[in-house]
Amino acid sequence: QLQLLESGPGLVEPSETLSLACSVSGGSISSNTYFWGWIRQPPGKGLEWIGSFYDSGTTFYNPSLKSRVTIHVDTSKNQFSLKLNSVTAADTAVYYCVRHLRYNYGYFDFWGQGTLVTVSS
Amino acid sequence: DIVMTQSPESLAVSLGERATINCKSSQTVLNTSNNRNYLGWYQQKPGQPPKLLIYWASTRESGVPDRFSGSGSGTDFTLTISSLQAEDVAVYYCQQYYSTPITFGQGTRLEIK
């Protein structure tokens, strides 16, 4: 059974870089059937897609965050990571790593449990 | 960007009654070359990640009870729960995957009346 597990600091200071990792088990991130990516959800609010990758490293991002976001892929560890720089309180959210199907941009069929990141000094 | 607008924002339905949630996209999400609508529905319970219910606007994900159904085409879509159960209390989201950026509706909170 596929499992996605997010990890990283729960507290980040304003203007610093948020860094999270997603460890994948039960499936390969090198599969050409899927995209893999990140979604976030501010407390009590809705869902925002951040960005994704395919083919072991080709990325595409939400334009609203593109200038601050980078997704890195480590196929040897079956992991991928998210870096979001120059964070503010508006970046406080639960961050989910996800898998989505490669039909246009895909529906999300597997989600990690999510990790809360708070931006505060 | 394709803007997804859900209605109502919240909904209270009696147990065993029908619940209907609407989703409207600002542009079509119908691919006329394959006649597929690139629209999904998700259920999110407190403290949990969203769970995929419906994709291609009307295809139920494996394991999803058949009281959940999706309909619609083009820009107007509906999620229907035919007979509300207590465990269906959740927030429901629609999502388009027709174009990037992938976008979600703002969510509809479903409660028991």
CB-side exposure of A20: number of CA atoms within 13 Å?
28
**Among the partner residues A46, A62, A100, nearest to B101 by beta-carbon distance:** A62
Tokens, residue B90: 């959740």
Find the length of chain A. Answer: 121
Name chain B contacts of A22, Cβ cutoff 8 Å: none
Mean pLDDT confidence for A85-103: 96
Report CA-CA distances (Å) from B104 to A3, A17, A45, B101, B108.
23, 26, 12, 10, 11
Q: How far is CA A117 from the centre of its chain?
A: 12
pLDDT (tens digit per residue) in B6-63: 999 999 999 999 999 999 999 999 999 999 999 999 999 999 999 999 999 999 999 9
Mutate: best of A47, A53, A64, partner B, most B CBs <10 A: A47
Alpha helices in chain B (DSSP H): none
Asked if the model's pLDDT at residue A103 lies above 90, the reply is no
Predicted pLDDT of residue A117: 98
Predicted pLDDT of residue A46: 98
Predicted pLDDT of residue A19: 98
Q: B38 and A62: CB-CB below 8 Å?
A: no
Dihedral angle of Cα B86, B88, B109, B43, to the nearest 10 degrees: 160
Distance CA A97, CA A47 (A): 12
Q: What is the DSSP letter of B61?
A: P
CB pairs under 8 A between A and B: 60
Asked if the model's pLDDT at residue B71 lies above 90, the reply is yes
The residues, any chain, with a CB within 8 Å of residue B68's CB and separated by 6 or more, are B41, B53, B54, B60, B79, B80, B81, B82
Predicted pLDDT of residue B84: 98
Confidence of residue A18 (pLDDT cuts 50, 70, 90): very high
Asked if the model's pLDDT at residue A56 lies above 90, the reply is no
Q: B104 and A48: CB-CB below 8 Å?
A: yes
Distance from the Cα of A30 to chain B's closest Cα (Å) equals: 21
Predicted pLDDT of residue B98: 97
Alpha helices in B1-92 (DSSP H): none
Report CA-CA distances (Å) from A97 to A57, B46, B79, B112.
15, 18, 25, 31
Mean pLDDT of chain A: 96
Confidence of residue A104 (pLDDT cuts 50, 70, 90): confident
Q: A46 and B38: CB-CB below 8 Å?
A: no
Name chain B contacts of A67, Cβ cutoff 8 Å: none
Name chain A contacts of B101, Cβ cutoff 8 Å: 49, 62-64
Confidence of residue A105 (pLDDT cuts 50, 70, 90): confident
Mutate: best of A3, A53, A69, A108, partner B, most B CBs <10 A: A108
What is the SS3 string spanning A101-121? ECCCCCCEEEECCCEEEEECC
Confidence of residue A116 (pLDDT cuts 50, 70, 90): very high
Tokens, residue A121: 């000094």
Distance from the Cα of A95 to chain B's closest Cα (Å) equals: 10
